[in-house]
Chains A and B, each alone.
Chain A
Amino acid sequence: MGGVPQLEVMDVTLRFGGVTALQSVSFAVESGAIDAIIGPNGAGKTSMLNAISGVVRPQQGRILLDGEDVTRLSPHARTRLGLARTFQNIALFKGMTVLDNLLIGRHTHQRCGLWRGGIYYGPGRDEEVAHRLVVEEIIDFLEIQHIRKQVVGTLAYGLQKRVELARALALEPRILLLDEPMAGMNAEEKEDMARFIIDANEDRGTTVVMIEHDMGVVMDISRRVVVLDFGCKIGDGTPQEVKRDPHVQQAYLGQEDAV
């Protein structure tokens, strides 16, 4: 591949008052990668994702998308540049249907304003049909046809997770940030989710950066792993390299007995 990495985190430091959540962390994600960020609880994984997506602004360091500095940009501006994420605790409109949640995921691509969109005729309608097509393709992709018109709040947890992934994919992102996509799932649901992530990466060409605690999944599907501990990067390499690294074993794997 070569050239500019799709996402570059340069020397990022993030503090909350006296607490240092991230301490000069740097890493780069190549286009088309599936990379994982791992680490014990409180290591700063979610803070890292928040910094990348723009929810928090680091005190020091820069974040680059395709070589362009986005450190100062708001979250929705980054979304427009092709960044999408899911959250550890599901962030969906629980009172709305799956379909409506996904259509809302298309809002950054909405071109018609209040007037043209409000009148359901001409360009407004054409645009809505086009959005619906994209959303339907994602519904097909994630095999959620049977719950298309159900209200999200009534769905099982594992399905809500899948809908959240769908909502993120509805943005047609180039980089997808996943915060513990498998948390709280059973073995079968995890297997499905892993397959969807791989398919999203291979078939849709989406770059994936995920935080995940299930080491089996991380070792299976990610090609590169970044290890954080107390806000510092202590490891970076292929799953095999990271597994063998004595620092990592001590900080995380050995201690937590997670493998």
Chain B
Amino acid sequence: MEPDTFPKLLAATAARLGARTALREKDLGIWQETSWRQYHDHVRDFSLGLLALGLRRGDKVAIIGDNRPEWLYAELGAQGAGGTAVGIYQESNLDEVAYVIDHSDAVLVVAEDQEQVDKILDVIEKLPKVRHVIYSDPRGMRHYRHPALISFAAVEEKGRALGRGQPRLWSENVAAGSADDVAILCYTSGTTGFPKGAMLTYRNLLTMATSLNQVDAKLPDDELVSFLPLAWIGEQMMSLASSLAIGFTVNFPEEPTTVTEDIREIGPHIMFAPPRVWENINSMVQVKIMDTTRAKRLMYELCMPVGYKVADLRLGKRPVPPQWRAAYALAHWLLFRALRDRLGLSNIRSCSTGGAALGPDVFRFFHALGVPLKQIYGQTEISGISCIHADGDIQFHTVGRPIPGTEIAISEQGEILSRSPSVFAGYYKNEAATTETLAGGWLHSGDAGYLTADGHLVVVDRMQDVMQLAGGARFSPQHVENRLKFSPYVKEAVVVGKDRPYLTAMLCIDMAIVGKWAESHQLGYTTYTDLAAKSEVYELVLREVEKVNATLPEAARIRKFVLLYKELDADDEELTRTRKVRRAFVEERYRQVIAALYGGAREVPIDAVIRFQDGKTARIQTTLQVRELGGAAKAPTIAATKVRRGHAAGRGGGRP
């Protein structure tokens, strides 16, 4: 019989591949390897250790932390004991952590390090169901004496002791699992309300892995770098379901800050990442090219048009004339080969983007380099994926065709519906939402879309986000936002216009890139707030918005915009943990700014409080300018904008 659960697959793969490398983690500057046999043994020991701690079949185990092998041991260990794993995003704040642990009824929590343990211990009084907190990194934990705490190694030791007494316990436990057991509870980040826990069974996840593999093949010799949150269904699909089913190697970065270098060292064959990651690579290249020597810049300017030309021909399914073939081969040797190596994309074969729309310009960029980027579409509720571009059939504006075993339909209201063996078993403890989402036997995505004549699915926007202007014209704010965000200077954009006479935008600059631009234009600045208030920066962004407007239909053009004084931030609840804008919340929070955009005001005084991940707050006082675009309106003269107080020192990087 085919193995039909994760633990059965692990046991089978360990028996088949034994000493081959299953996992690799960079530690002390060196890639340390774990074989399939060792991987299996860790999982077995940890699983038996959980039993020793009193875990029973059907219990939930919450896991929080960065991407480490221990996450996989913990997840598979819980599953091997008949339990269900619940992933929590590592950047979650106290309320979010407490909500998920409490709602999922988790009895054990596996936390990576001191930072995560601190979060759990801060709220443990409110979590009476939690019996133990297991930590894997002992650093800084020397003085922790909480009775619920136990180290990962100690749990494995308990497991080994139990295993010595009952050598057949592990294999009996594994055999007791069945395909319809709930493997994971995946809490959706939810742009509205509390997160909901989607129950995904082994059947859901493994059907997905094998169906996807039919259209987007992965091989046992492939390498994957696991750097996106393991609480996210996409990473579960790659690092667990697909890796276990196919047997490729999963690599874990040394630290979240070293991901770029670690990817370069590994040179993965597979990469599945949300648009943000691809956009970052793209804008990083653009910035570096601005900074490089004249000779290299010339090379870039000569070669890229060749890449674009050939990519366009190929994507249009037209033949590439021999002279362009030759030019492309030359460009490949002169530039693309080196550039791909620098980005860690030399070996890439299966690479895709999903979760949100990716600008066509970014798509073209990767195809010009010879990186065959594909779009994926799906929800957590369908185990991640329902559509993907097939090889040689990639269209920028679509998300491809349904993968094998998946049916797609469009409801009368224009909503995308899907049906497949991977559709989830329901939301945990939420009958009402389950019935609503699965009404009529179809999974309701909440996305508006349509099918093209050749069977490709086009996703327009969230159903509730397709909006009408007061004049009746329909527009999708997200579509316009994505266009704006393709500018390297714009990090986030929120487009407003529902039931209003025209569209306006609130934009957040990209601190790193605008900062660099400011430096090269002898423009001094202190904080994010200060930089975003500079007239020169406004002029810079104004030109970018004009470019975007030129590509949009008359009704969907931006008429006015402001630059916000801070980046939108998940800690302020403005973004979800997967960095989607929470529109209603943002519009409420910046009500005053929006009022100014539709009034005659030239500037908006701001006095706001920002919140950090640890719950501390800081106050910002500044004045925003309102800029107008297009024909009659002209930009105001330089307004008296200054930062009165910038309490921004406490935040590193791009945060204000």
Chain A: residues with CB nearer than 8 A to chain B?
132-133, 136-137, 139-140, 143, 145-146, 148, 186-188, 195, 199, 202-203
Tell me if A187 and B650 are in contact (CB < 8 A): yes
Q: Which residue of B lies closest to A141 (CB)?
A: B139
Chain B 632-656 interface residues, beta-carbon cutoff 8 Å to A: 649-652
Give the nearest-CB partner of A188 in chain B.
Answer: B650
Interface size class of B (residues with CB under 8 A): 10 to 19
In the complex, how many angstroms separate the beta carbon of B618 from the nearest chain A beta carbon? 10
Question: Which of A140, A143, A195 gathers most chain B CB within 10 Å?
Answer: A140
- With an 8 A cutoff between CB atoms, is B140 at the interface? yes
B72-94 with Cβ < 8 A to chain A: none
- B237-264 vs A, Cβ < 8 Å mask (1 yes, 0 no): 0000000000000000011011001000
Residues 136 to 193 of chain B near chain A (Cβ within 8 Å): 139-140, 142-143
The smallest beta-carbon distance between B445 and chain A, in angstroms, is 38
Q: Which residues of B contact A145 (CB under 8 A)?
A: 29, 254-255, 257-258
Tell which of A136, A143, A186, A202 touches B255, judged by Cβ atoms closer than 8 Å.
Answer: A143
Q: Are B258 and A187 in contact (CB under 8 A)?
A: no
CB pair A203 B29 closer than 8 Å: no
Given contacts A146-B255, A186-B650, contact A203 B142 (CB under 8 A): yes
Contact for A186 among B29, B254, B258, B649, CB less than 8 A: B649
Q: Are A133 and B258 in contact, with the CB atoms below 8 A? A: no
A75, chain B: closest CB distance, angstroms: 30
Contacts of B142 on A, CB cut-off 8 Å?
A: 202-203
- B residues engaging A (CB < 8 A)? 27-30, 139-140, 142-143, 254-255, 257-258, 261, 649-652
Contact A140-B651, Cβ < 8 Å, known A145-B257, A203-B142: no
Q: How far is the CB of B10 from chain A (nearest CB, A)?
A: 29
Determine which of A136, A188, A195, A202 lies in contact with B652 in the assembled complex, contact meaning CB atoms within 8 Å: A188
A143 to B114 Cα, complex, angstroms: 14
A136 and B28 contact, CB distance less than 8 A: yes
A133 touches B255 (CB 8 A): no
In the assembly, what is the distance between CA of A45 and CA of B605, in Å? Answer: 47
B255 surroundings in chain A (CB, below 8 A): 143, 145-146
Sort A-B residue pairs by CB-CB distance and give the 9 closest, nearest first.
A146-B257, A136-B28, A186-B649, A136-B29, A187-B650, A146-B258, A145-B254, A145-B255, A188-B650
Nearest B residue (CB) for A143? B255
CB < 8 Å: which of A140, A187, A195, A203 contacts B28?
A: A140
- Asked if B652 and A139 sit within 8 Å, CB to CB, the answer is no
> Given known contacts A188-B649, A195-B140, what 5 new A-B pairs fall within 8 Å (CB)?
A136-B29, A139-B28, A145-B257, A199-B140, A203-B142
A1–B30 alpha-carbon span in the complex (Å): 40
Complex Cα distance, B27 from A136, in Å, reads: 9
Contact status A188-B29, CB under 8 Å: no
In the bound complex, what is the Cα–Cα distance between A133 and B32 (angstroms)?
A: 14
Closest to B30 in A: A136
Distance A237 CA – B261 CA, assembled complex (angstroms): 48
Residue in B30, B257, B651 whose beta carbon sits within 8 Å of that of A188 in the complex: B651
Provide the residues of chain A in CB contact with B257, threshold 8 Å: 145-146
Q: What's the Cα separation between A148 and B26 when bound, in Å?
A: 13
Q: Which of A136, A145, A187, A199 has the most CB of B within 10 A?
A: A145
Q: Please name all residues of chain B whose beta carbon is closer than 8 Å to the beta carbon of A136 when the two chains form the complex.
A: 28-30
Q: How far is the CA of A199 from the CA of B142 in the complex (A)?
A: 10
| Residue among B29, B143, B261, B649 making CB contact with A139, cutoff 8 Å | B29
**B254 neighbours in A (Cβ, 8 Å):** 145
Assuming the contacts A146-B255, A199-B140, A202-B142, asked whether A137 and B28 have C-beta atoms less than 8 A apart, the reply is yes
Q: What CA separation (Å) do A145 and B650 show in the bound complex?
A: 22
Query: How far in angstroms is the closest Cβ of chain B from A258?
Result: 18
B649-A187 in contact (CB<8A): yes
Kindly provide the distance from the CB of B312 to the nearest chain A CB, expressed in whole angstroms.
37
Name A191's closest neighbour in chain B (CB-CB). Answer: B650
The residues of B that contact A188 with a CB separation of less than 8 Å are 649-652
Chain B residues near A203: list those with CB within 8 A: 139-140, 142
| Complex alpha-carbon distance, A66 and B29, angstroms | 36
In the assembled complex, the Cα of A16 lies from the Cα of B544 at a distance in Å of: 63
When distances are taken between beta carbons in the complex, the residues of chain A under 8 Å from B27 are: 140
Cβ contacts under 8 Å, A139 to chain B: 28-29
Tell me the bound Cα distance from A136 to B652 in angstroms.
Answer: 25
Bound form: Cα–Cα A223–B258 in Å:
36
A199 partner residues in chain B, CB cutoff 8 A: 139-140
State how many angstroms separate the Cβ of A146 from the closest Cβ of chain B.
Answer: 4
Chain A residue at minimal CB-CB distance from B648: A186
Q: Which residue of B lies closest to A156 (CB)?
A: B652
